[in-house]
Amino acid sequence: MNSRIDLNTLTIEETRARFQKGDISARELAAIYEDGIKQKNGELNAYIEIFEDAFEAAEAIDARLEAGDMPRLLEGIPIAVKDNILIRGKKATAASKILANYTASFDATVIGRLRDAGAILMGRTNMDEFAMGSSTEQSVYGAAKNPHDTGRVAGGSSGGSAVAVAAAMAMAALGSETGGSIRQPAGFTGVVGLKPTYSAVSRNGLIAMASSLDQIGPLAKTVRDAELLFDVIKGKDPKDATSAEYEARSSLHEKIVIGVPQEWMRGDGMDADVRTIIERAIETFREAGYEVKEISLPHTPYALSVYYIIVPAEVSANLARYDGVRYGLSKEGANVIEGYFKTRGAGFGPEVRRRAILGTYVLSAGYYDAYYRRASRVRRLIAQDFENAFGEVDCIVAPVSPRPAFKLGEKVKDPLSMYLEDIFLVPANLAGIPALSVPYGVVERDGKKLPVGVQLIGPRFGEGILFDIGKFLEAHS
Ligand code: GLN
């Protein structure tokens, strides 16, 4: 173990500087991380697979550095990857039995970009099956554990990626969001997580959940690290027609104006300690001279209902491809239909089945108008609420989750209470706008200190605003 290196504080830029000075090699760094993974993964269950070829990649990077090449943005940086993002030649299971033996035949666009920036891929991380869940308990590989209290969940669905970063088993990680799956585990484990603007990051090579919402994003120890990762992965990709050229949006005001959604703060669903932390963040903004305004997002109280209609609908369509013929698990039946039933019955876990059934229902003849069409209309109203707000303020501050990490087993049998965890998260996904989770303070539960995240929401392509305010919060926490 290299005693000069403290993985809990080591940032990407510091690592580059150390490489340049010849302080440490990429191989040495990868070895330190691998030691940590070997020590901790048994208990925390963050990784599903640790890549054997990480050292080869590190050696190739050392050869470059020795030849005097300038370190690229992520040169030699150990990165963990959620198991729904394809890496050529590696398995990609989405933590589902149905894909247990599926090997990716190409790199997702984001993986290609990480490689081009010099990153070292450390392994595949644990997640809720097909990214459906808020605790990583829906994984076929068993739950990831929260390093701050192993009796508690890490959050989800990108729980493995969050734990990998929080427990120094990777310097940063990629996760994915459909409805909070980066921000919520980031908040529960005390790391930074970004849900990018919809279309800012290519979805090519991401195993689809709900395509109108899915986005890949970074988890990291600091806002700056998350920003660096985002800079590497963002931008238009000809392989994803919904991806866009990134055009950064700047703030309307010289000094950023911060909005507080009154509908969100008014409800009684929020834990008192979490409320205190959010109020302290708001106070900190005020003291630093930021203008803080109350805003109204009148349709967002419907966001959760809208989300849990639109998502199952898209899930039922996207998951129709797992029929035992083209991918993964395949069970024989007396006829084709029976084969489908058997394959899907054996291959999908309970939450995935629940959503496929719900989604088929809300899309079926006679119900489509009552559910899906109406939900789509309210979705537009929610997006409009945010647009109105961003005519007035530059950034919105809110809780990430209504309470700190809950106990393993506490909610997994009660889908509705699990869905309620997403209440402050899904509005940004439905509106397609960026949102950042920044660790800010801790609360004590059962003698353990649990991190709490503050959420910053910005206008489309307003990630830069979020990074600025996020760095301010980080420096004043
Ligand atoms: N909790 C959300 C859900 O289960 C998270 C989904 C996600 O962001 N991948 O739908």
List, in order of start, the domains of the chain with CATH numbers.
12-233 (3.90.1300.10), 257-296+392-412+421-475 (no CATH)
Q: What beta strand segments (E) does 166-256 contain?
A: 172-177, 192-195, 215-220
Model pLDDT for residues 184-220, shown as the tens digit of each residue: 999 999 999 999 999 999 999 999 999 999 999 999 9
Active site annotation includes 82: yes
How much is the average pLDDT of 86-92?
98
Choice among 221-230, 361-370, 404-413 with the minimum mean pLDDT? 361-370
pLDDT digits (tens, 9 = 90+) for 7-39: 999 999 999 999 988 999 999 999 999 999 999
**What are the percentages of helix, strand and coil residues in the chain, rounded to 5?**
40, 15, 40
- Our answer to whether residue 157 is catalytic in this structure is yes
**Over residues 221-232, mean pLDDT:** 98
Q: Is 85 within 8 Å of 115 (Cβ atoms)?
A: no
Pocket test for ligand 1, best of 178, 306, 455 (most atoms within 8 A of CB): 178
pLDDT of residue 5: 86
β-pairing verdict for 172-177 and 78-82:
parallel
Ligand 1 atom index nearest CA of 180: 8
Residue 77 half-sphere exposure toward CB, CA atoms < 13 A: 34
Query: What is the average pLDDT across 45-62?
Result: 96
Each residue of 114-124: pLDDT tens digit? 999 999 999 99
Percent share of the chain, pLDDT over 70: 99
Whether 472 shows a pLDDT value over 50: the answer reads yes
Instruction: Show the ligand 1 pocket: residues with CB < 6 angstroms.
Output: 131-134, 157, 177-181, 209, 311, 422
Q: Decide if pLDDT at 365 tops 90.
A: no
CA of 318 relative to ligand 1 center, distance in Å: 15
Nearest CA to ligand 1 atom 10: 132
211 CA to middle of ligand 1, Å? Answer: 13
Q: How confident is the model at residue 70 (pLDDT cuts 50, 70, 90)?
A: confident
The pTM score is: 0.97
Rounded distance from Cα 91 to ligand 1 centre (Å): 22
> Residue 18 corresponds to which tokens in the numbers above?
């150390």
Instruction: Write out pLDDT tens, residues 415-449.
Output: 999 999 999 999 999 999 999 999 999 999 999 99
Our answer to whether residue 105 is catalytic in this structure is: no
* DSSP labels, 426-437: HHHHHHT--EEE
- Average pLDDT value for residue range 122-146: 98
Give the sign of the dihedral formed by CA 165, CA 230, CA 310, CA 376. Answer: positive
Ligand 1 atom nearest to CA at 133: 4
CA–CA dist 93, 84 (Å, integer): 7
Closest CA to 240 of 189, 269, 183, 199: 199
- Asked if residue 340 has pLDDT above 50, the reply is yes
- Does residue 316 carry a pLDDT above 50? yes
Q: What 3-state DSSP class applies to 153?
A: strand
Q: Which atom of ligand 1 is nearest to the CA of 419?
A: 1
Taking CA atoms, 466 is separated from 256, 359, 473, in Å, by: 10, 34, 10
The two tokens of residue 262 are 């009154």
What lies within 8 Å, CB to CB, of 381 at 6+ separation is: 299
The answer to whether 277 and 270 are in contact (CB under 8 A) is no
The pLDDT score that the predictor gives to residue 1 is 44
Measured from the Cβ of residue 82, the count of other Cβ atoms closer than 10 Å reads 32
Catalytic residue among 161, 176, 181, 199: 181
Are 225 and 215 contacting, i.e. CB atoms less than 8 angstroms apart? no
Mean pLDDT of the chain: 96
Which tokens hold the place of 458? 């910005």
Atom of ligand 1 nearest to the CA of 213: 8
The predicted model gives 96-109 an average pLDDT of 96
The pLDDT of residue 477: 87
475: three-class secondary structure by DSSP: helix
